[in-house]
Amino acid sequence: MSNMNLFASAAPDPVPLPLPDATVVYCSRFFSEEESVVYYDILKRETPWKQDDIKVFGKNYKQPRLTALYGQTKKTYSYSGITMHPATFTETLEEIYNKISLFSEEKFNTVLLNLYRDGQDSNGWHSDDEKELGDDPIIASVSFGVPRVFHFRNKKDHTLKHKMVLENGSLLLMKQGTQIHWQHQLPKSKKVEGQRINLTFRNIL
């Protein structure tokens, strides 16, 4: 892909988030500014983006973002009435994955890419708890592009919330308990100008 040494950047400084019954850490500068710009440009240009229809309460709607799925296996991924078939990991995705896996000491075999074209593209309240992900899945979420506000809320007590900004080049690692006890969303915003690419690495069983 490039001649950059991806492991030459400063070691990330993980910050734990105050979410009861869950282990979540955030690294604001996991990828350097240079790496983030290069990766954003490559992923934006080379990814075969699609806008699928999703089913919400029995009705079909255009998904408010573009998506693509890649995997190290041929296992499909299904959510909201969509079944996605993975393309093979690219060299760029392998580079990103290797750095995340080394840091997190976790193995992932699938990555779902999302392209948020502007502040009106969004992702509503949900947990990544589909049956093919197992009982307590771990998700590694990488952001390239404009910063976006991100929310957590407790499943049983919606007054328990956490709000943060996902920055360019950041890594959000949602570990044990997160998908069991918490939901998350990326809300719409009139203040956002620009696009964001999000990669969520996961392990399909």
- Residue 50 DSSP class: B
CATH number of the domain enclosing 106: 2.60.120.590
The reply to whether 145 falls in a domain is yes
pLDDT digit of tens for each residue in the chain (205 aa)? 444 444 445 556 899 999 999 999 999 999 999 999 999 999 999 999 999 988 777 888 899 999 999 999 999 999 888 899 999 999 999 999 999 999 999 999 999 999 999 999 999 999 999 999 999 999 999 999 999 999 999 999 999 999 999 999 999 999 999 999 999 999 999 999 999 999 999 999 9
Residues pairing with 54 in the sheet: 61
The reply to whether 161 falls in a domain is yes
The reply to whether 8 falls in a domain is no
The reply to whether 107 falls in a domain is yes
Give how many domains the chain has, as a whole number. Answer: 1
- Smallest Cα–Cα separation from 68: which of 41, 88, 94? 88
Q: What is the pLDDT of residue 7?
A: 43
The reply to whether 3 falls in a domain is no
User: Residue 134 contacts by C-beta under 8 Å, 6 or more apart in sequence?
Assistant: 203, 205
Judge contact between 200 and 114, C-beta under 8 A. Answer: yes
Domain region containing 34: 15-202
The reply to whether 2 falls in a domain is no
User: Residue 137 contacts by C-beta under 8 Å, 6 or more apart in sequence?
Assistant: 128, 129, 179, 202, 203
Segment (H or E) for 39:
helix 33-46
CA distance readout (Å), 158 to 89, 99, 155, 184: 37, 34, 6, 11
pLDDT digits (tens, 9 = 90+) for 83-106: 999 999 999 999 999 999 999 999
